[in-house]
Amino acid sequence: MSAWLRDESPPSPGPADDGRRADTFALLQDEGHRPAAPVTQAGADWLASSGPYPRSTLSHWAARPTAPGVLACGSVFDVVNVPWVFGRRMLDRLWSEGPGSGPVAVHRGRTLLFAAPGTAQRLPSLLSWEEWGGGGTETGGTDPAAPPPLFCHGVGDAVTVPPLTPGSASAPRWVIAPDTRHPWLPGPEVLLWACVRAARARAGTTRAGTGTIPHPRAAAMVELLPQSCS
């Protein structure tokens, strides 16, 4: 396997997490009919650790638990920001066929996937390697197998995170809330795999019955990824 394709994510959830996997996948399947997921105290501690003053952040949240927050990316987590529908497709693949996901939020029609630090720098290069060129039809491109625009937030960036306690319907909310002090986070290779699978599924829907052959580099990449993601 090529060195740059080696997955450097922390170990993914194992067999002992099968119950949580089933619960999470069921939540995603019925996500539109369920309330936002609450954040545990351990999850709040993890989120607050991304900033220079975690105690101040926790005090602010204690006083305003239904208020969204703004956190820095790059040290504890990066965030991959994708259109909501495509993000759901990625999550479906991650939980039904892959290693699962880290925390996930939705905000203003976008899905925010929390990823391992360094993902924001590396994922765009991996996507460029796919040679999708002008992008998919959603960006005016001609390749329906290409993913829509992905915004990667890393060092020097900040993101709005949902409140610890679900607030108004228009506020950002957690689909998969952080619940431990050290949640597993997917790395760039895992998210590239999910992008390829989600884009391929979308292209299959668009080209139903046309006999389209999958993108050759995407197919080769899937074969090279770790077995836990195939």
Q: Is residue 82, in this structure, part of any structural domain at all? A: yes
Q: What is the pLDDT of residue 167?
A: 72
Residue 125 included in any domain:
yes
Domains contained in the chain, number: 1
Count, residues in the chain = 230
What is the band of 128 on the pLDDT scale with cuts at 50, 70, 90?
confident
- Here the tokens at position 198 are 């989600």
Domain span at residue 147? Answer: 14-229
Residues 89-113 have a mean pLDDT of: 95
Q: CA dist 66 to 51, 86, 159, 161, 174, Å?
A: 19, 27, 17, 11, 12
pLDDT tens, residue by residue, 160-216 = 999 998 877 678 999 999 999 999 999 999 999 999 999 988 666 544 444 333 343
**Percent of the residues in the chain that have a pLDDT greater than 70, as a whole number:** 64
pLDDT score, position 227: 39
Residue 5: the pLDDT is 36
Q: Would you state the pLDDT for residue 28?
A: 53
Structure-model confidence comparison of residues 128 and 13, the more confident one: 128
Judged against a pLDDT cut of 50, whether residue 230 lies above it is answered with: no
5 in a domain, yes or no? no
Query: What does the block give as tokens for 216?
Result: 């050759």
Q: 145 is written with which tokens?
A: 């197998």
Q: Is residue 4 part of a domain?
A: no
Q: What pLDDT is stored for residue 88 in this prediction?
A: 94
Residues of the chain above pLDDT 90, percent: 55
* DSSP labels, the chain: --GGGS--SPPPP-GGGHHHHHHHHHHHHTGGGSPPPPPPHHHHHHHHTTSS-HHHHHHHHHH-TTS-EEEE-SSS-EEEEEEHHHHHHHHHHHHHTSS--S-EEEETTEEEEEE-TTHHHHHHHHHHHTT-TT--GGGT-S-TTS----EEE-TT-EEEE--SS---TTS-EEEE---SSS-----HHHHHHHHHHHHHHHHHHHTTTS-PPPPHHHHHHHHHS-GGG-
Q: What is the CA radius of gyration of the chain?
A: 18
Would strands 110-115 and 104-107 be described as parallel, antiparallel, or unpaired? antiparallel
Average pLDDT value over all residues in the chain: 77
Mean pLDDT of 111-137: 81
Quick check: is 46 in a domain?
Answer: yes
The answer to whether 201 and 70 are in contact (CB under 8 A) is no
The reply to whether 1 falls in a domain is no
* Averaged pLDDT for residues 17-27: 50
Residue 132: pLDDT band (50, 70, 90) is low
pLDDT surpasses 60 at 15: no
216 Rama sector, left if φ>0, alpha if ψ -120 to 50, beta otherwise: alpha
Q: How many CB atoms lie within 10 A of CB 83?
A: 16
**6 domain-assigned:** no
Q: Is 52 a domain residue?
A: yes
